Amino acid sequence: MKLIERYSNGETVSVWEEIEMMEVDAFKPEIYSEVEKVLDETFNRVRYNLEVIHEELLKIGYNFNNDESCNSLRPLNKPLKNADKLLHKLDKMVKPFGYVPVTLKKFYQIVGSCNFGWDYENDENFMWHYSDPIQIGSLDDLVEEMKENDWVEMMKENAADGEPVYLELAADFYHKDNVSGGMAYSIEMTKQPSIDSLFLFEEHETTFVNYLRICFENCGFSRITNPENKNIYEVFFETVKPKLKPI
């Protein structure tokens, strides 16, 4: 069967493993047309899952941040109308170091952005402590921050020292709970064109797509089931998890 047929029939993990093993061969025209179908289906499911979780969190009174000052603060945003133009800018900024993985581009083209973080400035009584709610910053804010914070110079130093070049996408789970923490979760830029890449500084040490998969396995909160958190989440899971689509 074709990749998209296998993916649609439930082989989501194995299909993605196969795509990752292809490396640059995935970009051959006769292969990429099929890979792109899987990409599109994957990120349509990501968007669907985020919408389901967002709706259910609203029902239970979850304290979202609805600050209108920038897109990255709002819980859920559709793709920006100028996403393709901004992605072109992003490609140019990253070009001296390598490539933006296709998965991140598809996220911005199909999903948009999300921030399921608790608004601790409005209410310090977290529903689930250190649960690590999913957060992927908006494309416009990412590009602007890269320009303002001398991203190129910082990444030149990283490249010279043999360290990864990356784009920061989300606060770590400590910062999300208003506690001083570590590095922002980031996606690694690759030296060759790549479908996906590593999601850095996050405890699972995995790829971007698999990080999203972990988030959805945990209903949008990658650490919510960690025993040290002592969270009561079972009722929420019972409602949400059956509605989510596997990626």
| Sequential DSSP letters for 95-160 | TTT-B--HHHHHIIIII-EEE--B-TTT----SSTT--B-EE--HHHHHHHHHHTTHHHHHHHHHH
Number of neighbours of residue 60 by Cβ within 10 angstroms: 10
> How confident is the model at residue 199, as a pLDDT?
98
Report residue 88 as tokens: 């072109």
Alpha helices per DSSP H over the chain: 3-8, 12-22, 29-59, 83-94, 102-106, 139-148, 151-160, 173-176, 208-217, 234-240
> How confident is the model at residue 242, as a pLDDT?
97
> How confident is the model at residue 64, as a pLDDT?
95
9 by DSSP, 3-state: which?
Answer: coil
Report residue 15 as tokens: 């299909």
> How confident is the model at residue 113, as a pLDDT?
97
> How confident is the model at residue 93, as a pLDDT?
93
* Calpha distance 211→202 (Å, rounded): 9
Enumerate residue ranges in the chain where pLDDT < 70.
none
> How confident is the model at residue 167, as a pLDDT?
97
Contact 15, 1 (CB under 8 A): no
The structure's pTM equals 0.95
> How confident is the model at residue 38, as a pLDDT?
98
The closest of 41, 56, 16 to 220, measured between CA atoms, is 56
221 by DSSP, 3-state: which?
Answer: strand
